[in-house]
Structure 1
Amino acid sequence: MGFRAWLSVVLVLFGIGLQIQAKRLPWFYREEQDRSGLSDWSAHSPLQEDHAEESVGDSSLPEPQSTVQEPVRKELKEPAQEPVPLQSKQTLQGPVKQTWRFPKMPEKPKEPEGSIVLREPVPANSVAVRCGEAVVKVEVNQDFFGTGKLIHPSDISLGDCAVTEVDPSDQVLVFEYGLHRCGSKLQVTEDKLVYSFTLIYAPKVLAGIPILRTKGATVDIQCHYRRNHNVSSAAVMPTWVPFAATKAAEEVLVFSLRLMTDDWEFERTSNTYYLGNLLHIEASVIQYNHVPLRVFAHSCVATAVPDWNASPRYSFIEDHGCLVDAKLTGSGSHFLPRVQDDRLRFELEAFRFAQAEGTSIYITCQLVATAAPIDSDHKACSFSDDQWISADGNDEVCRCCESSCGPTRMTRDVSADEQWVSEAVLGPMLIKDAY
């Protein structure tokens, strides 16, 4: 066999191998070749052309088949498994319009429209009197002030006479004594005999509890008899005198110490300040059935706990009304000019104790209400521009602030010149750093 014959055999075998290889390719790969034109390239390759020429003269060999093969499994016209769609057409929707707004800041509590006025206590109808021929009978409701708090029998007396009977079911205390006992006073007029008694309520401090919930009170009681009648033989109709009509000697005073807003219109709802802020403090007294009184702050002490004797402590009002904070520290603390006699306002620059834990301060003041004229014992003086100035316009009474105006007392007292003293506590105030 010549060289040309061997070359023809080799070419034929190579073509057959290409056909067998084409049949082994996946159907979808062959279809991809058909679409991309690779099958045409293989059909017109030089090797196949040579094979075609050699096979023309050889009738025993089968005709060459097209290199474009049908899929082995013609019935599988679609893939065996559908690809999972990423998103169904039914679920495709248009863009959703969303609205966005800036978040609203929380609303601050609104201040009340009018100034805060304490509800005035209403006198309770808690005392009844029956005047007999020779005795007087006084019945006192243990809810003496009408507040629901019962008084103790040992805290009340008729002159120097104690309670004679206690009625626990009706909560009534009974006094029954002769007309000439219990420190009674007899007054004789042209047509009457008048026996006067004094009912005294003086609450005592409980052991180990240094506080009081009520204030002492006195009630005047009188029994009237006509002189043109024989009181020893004729019965006297009982006369019940209500408590409100017989409390002529009772002095009801309500002292308060409050934090106010910067415009002094309302009571401040927050007790938090920063160092350097001004605390607007108002001292006031509410009085009932009394001549007008003027209120003063005789002394004020700041502490880190609600105990004015605790340490550390800072006394910023001394000597019966000298506000010394501005003189000692150079602050802007001062009394405001007085507008009403029953109110006293001052501004105190916020501070904090250096040696105390926490940021809270408490203020305890000795407040005094009196009808006495303004003098060195009753004043409100501020230090400004190297001089002392009075909130009431009389700067002469402030001269003693440079040295000493006398000792002060932090006790409740009623002195000869009719002044009423009370302690008022304010706090806690939280003082934060300014940065």
Structure 2
Amino acid sequence: MISELLFLMFVATAMAQKDLSVECGSDYWVTVHWRPGLGFSQKVDPSRALLGTCPPSSLMSEDTLLFRVFMRDCDFIQQVMEGRVTYSNMLIYARRPELPIITQSVKCVYDSPVGEESEFSTEEQDENVEKQETFNMEIMNPDFSGPAPSLRFGLGSSIPIRATVEPRSHRSLRIYIKSCEFATDADTRRATQVHPIIANAGCLMESKSGNSSFLPRRHSDEIRLYLEAFRFALGEKIFLHCDLEACVVQSLSVHRKACHYVPEKRRWMLLDDPSQSYTCTCCDSSCPRTDLMIDGVSAHKVLGPFVIVEGSGSLDSRSSSERGMSESRVWLLVFVVAVALVTVMGVLAVSYYLCFWRGGRLGYRPSRDLLTKY
């Protein structure tokens, strides 16, 4: 087995650079020496570095990190093509929040023994698995207890969104929203206006410019968020286009995350584990992208049409007939109260006139002396 698993190659560009060396073992262990290249004024902080989801094993010198990891423990991506197995991953170093992260790809390629089955799914396998999963996405009412009764939202109101995945097996899946955008057509190619909502593999961009945010998960196979209705195509039909992904619950990575911006803390926060929010530092720049998935499935969903209108900023969750009935009841109540108040005031006025004013003077007769005196 070991003799058949011959190491073929690793990234040529990595070998050409002095700041990275990679040794891929036949036992699926990989040793990486990496110098992030921070410059003379900065020291390397091991707590800011990752290989996939694995921290460094040690700090070899002031500027060189050592990773000694097992490929199947660090969120390596596996691809099987033409009898070869490729394992790829990303080195990440998160600098200060105002600086972009440093990334470097790592790749090892092996011969695949004939008849050996891969423990990880390939792209082709994922396409077959996707047909077995059911993705759902809908606009909800404010407390997420059911679908939204109306798809008209006032400026500044919250648009509740929920996405779920129903696995067809006993495995537990965690769902992510990789990307979303508003468009004025169900087909983005025909849309006259398009605006990104979620980008960079799970960064809620609207959370930095408005009050949009992810909500705490109740279940791993569900993700919820509030989108603030902003000034986009007012009065026109709007569609929400989203790419969803679900995978077996595992450690987090920069390729698969849910991040939103917290203004009070002035930084991006990771939904599922705030202590690992460094994976969100690329949201302000460009996060590494990959088209491969480990044991995952994906789907594209389109919601709508819905409409954003000028309004008070509260969610319009009632139908027009319900609003008409409610308004008529209010005016009826105002009319009844006004009539009752007028009636009471009239009764009091008449009673006062009869009992105190006129009633007190019924027996009064002016004296003749008084009449002739003047």
TM-score after normalising by structure 1: 0.39
Higher RCO (CA < 8 A, seq sep 6+): 2
Give the greater-gyration-radius structure (CA). Answer: 1
TM-score after normalising by structure 2: 0.46
More helix as a share of residues: 2
More strand as a share of residues: 2
